[in-house]
Amino acid sequence: SQTIHQWPATLVQPVGSPLSLECTVEGTSNPNLYWYRQAAGRGLQLLFYSVGIGQISSEVPQNLSASRPQDRQFILSSKKLLLSDSGFYLCAWSQQGAGEKLFFGSGTQLSVL
């Protein structure tokens, strides 16, 4: 069976510090991978998606970047966090050609202070 791991569950970081959130998927190969964010009082917003190693598409301009160094690993990063980066970050995967069904990780609550 497939599983998705996302960590940490919660994170408190000072403004200007770097960020690295990691997500890994097991039990499948060549998945599509996604990073979503939910800011307070707003819906989930797609930040990045990837259809393969090293292939990253950004949906919105922001202070964040994503990388996919391995087939089932997706990393969300920032060099210098802003207050506005606070939110709930969710990693998700889908099978190639079946993008209408997403499987989500349990999320990371990021608080930038």
Instruction: List beta partners, residue 38.
Output: 44, 88
From the CB of 19, what's the least distance to other proteins, in Å?
20
Based on CB atoms, which residue is closest to other proteins, 20 or 96?
96
From the CB of 13, what's the least distance to other proteins, in Å?
21
From the CB of 79, what's the least distance to other proteins, in Å?
26
Residue 84 backbone dihedrals phi, psi, to 5 degrees: -70, -5
List contacts with other proteins (CB under 8 A): 4, 6, 32, 34, 36, 38, 41-46, 49, 51, 59, 90, 92, 94, 97-107
| Phi-psi region at 9: left, alpha or beta (left = phi > 0; alpha = psi -120 to 50) | alpha
Based on CB atoms, which residue is closest to other proteins, 14 or 41?
41
First to last CA, the chain: 38
Distance of CA 28 to the CA centre of its chain: 18
From the CB of 94, what's the least distance to other proteins, in Å?
4
Based on CB atoms, which residue is closest to other proteins, 45 or 62?
45
Mention every residue, 6+ apart, whose C-beta is less than 8 A from residue 29.
Answer: 71, 72
